[in-house]
Structure 1
């Protein structure tokens, strides 16, 4: 089972909104409230709950529509307080429940105080060592401790994803999985991938916790397989799975065989691939990338979102103000493809080869 993810891909799975039926009449948010919600989500993905709350508080509460109002209320209930709240996980096993609570408390504190994120990670390490007892006596860092913790969780019936999903330490827990093989048609050629479809989740990871269940990691790659959060893809023949999981992760596999790339560079190329392949979901992708974009390269996903959108605008000959949702689909796909090919040409000339 995977321990350290090579890349964990943040894909909004809509898990919270799928949990309850929509009201007969939905009250829409104002444009300002929609922008505030997007800024809040972006701040959380960059690991800053205080900035996320400030973004929401900048707009009067009555401007948030039904779904956004629920998100706003949850964010205040969870993060506008002095200490992390207890959230009932529904896990009966005391050891697994304590492990999850330990991670949730760490996430809350790290999100509330980004400047001391490393100190919170060290405190997490020591708390996990205490939970594991003598089995963790020789584990002085996460690299040594996580295999011990993963094996212990498996003894209790739970598979685990750990490691670092920037900027926080990760924990996802699930009980079942199914393995399938796929051949993916990428813009630059075919790529074979082995996919583990994960199901029966007990914990969805820090990005799910940070966004009050609005989305979760949709998948990640290791050196030899793709791991997909099955509840996020109800239709395995649908474009969301075929493009945003298989296309995205397939691009990672192809790129890692050729070069040594930074995390944001891998994400940048995979996001261009998504937009080059997407048809019905292209506007959803543009909206998602526009919400979470950022200027800090140490935050791979937001930074890659910003770089991908900028590259496509350059290909189209437009400036920062160009509304990509108004661009004809074929032109958008072609611009994304050309941006990917241009990046490939530049890397073929200068990038360090894989394993070099």
Structure 2
């Protein structure tokens, strides 16, 4: 993620881009707990805790009270007895380091720089003591190439991993035990492509979004220059949701990583989300509603900013007005009109990026 959609920055040379797909939860309970999850996904856990404090338990269902208690235990009292899906002590140590880091930065991102440095140092120490102590590698070299060395270490322990890329602003950890592979032909709005999809199962760590929402929202997949990676439990692979919000979304990243190698994660997400809306039929209004609920005019939060820009630009193109957030009005617009307008925005965006220079353009949407 250059910082996601997961974009891995230049020092993370193995993976050029990761794309965070959030697994959506639709609340049918009197109090909409999704408000708490959204604050967590925006990296504002202090606000989430304060919001929970303001809601009396009498207004919550039994399951919501349990969820509230879990948040307090994990993020305020920090005395949770976490159950790890592995017995490997060193893998557990790595996960614990990320958990400690996530708690710090989710509660107060003003500590981000210091927390990043401490995590890097702690992980370098662990690698030095447990793998590289007798090798011709200095601790300084470990720190400078932590992405490569940490993933090599985890894979030497029998795991698959994608560790030390950034999802949004925060370092992330994806650690799983099993995977399978399948190939797909995908029709994108601008071209057709063939992709290899690797399905991931049996996670030990599924990233900070999973940790921040107790598994309600999490990264469902990402794209690299070689393949798409799919968290299998996040998707019904026979559904339009999978075909549109995973396959076409990630395939667009796959192509854009080649066409625009330096493009920011927010711009990549903008294009992939327009691709979803160019192809969706049954799920199109659900996608729009999700974008509206998770929109934020802040480029630091790539997904939220892309959501904001997509809704703004689509509202302008279809209705010649500022961002439309009323779903009843959106549902009065046929999916075919939304498809056509989204494809037009995507194509025009590609023209603008090419005019700016495919090999040098980094940011365009604002």
**Band of TM-score, shorter chain:** 0.7 to 0.9
Q: Is the 8 A contact 1:159 1:173 kept in 2?
A: yes
Aligned counterparts of 1:64 and 1:309: Cα–Cα separation in 2? 32
Shift of 1:84: 6.2
Question: Structure 1: where are the runs of 5+ without partners?
Answer: 18-26
1:22 paired residue number: none
Count of aligned residue pairs for this structure pair? 338
Q: Distance in 2 between matches of 1:151 and 1:295?
A: 38
Indicate which of 215, 234, 237 corresponds to 1:213.
215
- Alpha-carbon distance in structure 2 between the residues aligned to 1:256 and 1:328: 33
TM-score of the superposed pair, with normalisation by structure 2: 0.83
Cα separation, partners in 2 of 1:7 and 1:64, compared to 1, 3 Å: same
Determine whether 1:278 maps to 2:283. Answer: no
> Secondary structure at 1:170's aligned position in 2?
strand
Match of 2:252 in 1: 251
Q: Distance in 2 between matches of 1:341 and 1:211?
A: 35
Structure 2 matches for 1:123-138, cutoff 5 A? 123-134=118-129, 135=132, 137-138=138-139
CA deviation profile, 1:108-145 (whole Å, cap 9, x unmatched):
11111210111111111111122112527334576502
Equivalent residue, structure 1, for 2:341 = 338
Identify the residue that residue 5 of structure 2 maps to in structure 1: none
Deviations 1:332-353 (A, max 9, x none): 4533542442343244143321
Question: Aligned partners of 2:258, 2:65: CA distance in 1, in Å?
Answer: 45
Determine the C-alpha separation between the residues in 1 that align with 2:76 and 2:250: 36
1:351 aligns with 2:347: no
After superposition, what is the alpha-carbon deviation per residue over 1:20-51, rounded to whole angstroms, capped at 9, x for unaligned? Answer: xxxxxxx9433xx32xx344323222222102
SS in 1 for 2:184: strand
Identify the match of residue 10 of structure 1 among 17, 21, 36.
Answer: 21
- The match for 1:47 is 43
SS at match of 1:10: coil
1:51 and 1:333, CA in 2 relative to 1: closer, same or farther beyond 3 A?
A: farther
Determine the structure 1 residue equivalent to 2:100.
105
Does residue 1:324 correspond to 2:327, yes or no? yes
Structure 2 segments unaligned to the other structure (5+ residues): 1-12, 362-366
1:321-341 superposed Cα distances (whole Å, 9 cap, x missing partner)? 542354348624533542442
CA contact (8 A) 1:174 1:199 kept: yes
Matched position secondary structure for 1:164: strand
Task: Say which SS state the counterpart of residue 21 (structure 2) adopts.
Answer: strand
Query: Quick check: 1:199 aligned with 2:210?
Result: no
| CA-CA distance at 1:75 after TM superposition | 1.9
Deviation of 1:245 (Å): 0.9
Write the deviation string for residues 75-119 of structure 1: whole angstroms up to 9, x where unpaired: 2222122x4634121321111111111111111111112101111
- Aligned residues: CA RMSD: 2.7
Mapped to 1, the partners of 2:238 and 2:332 lie a distance apart of 21
When normalised by structure 1's length, the TM-score is 0.85
2:63 and 2:343 map into 1 onto residues whose CA distance is: 36
User: What is aligned with 2:237?
Assistant: 236
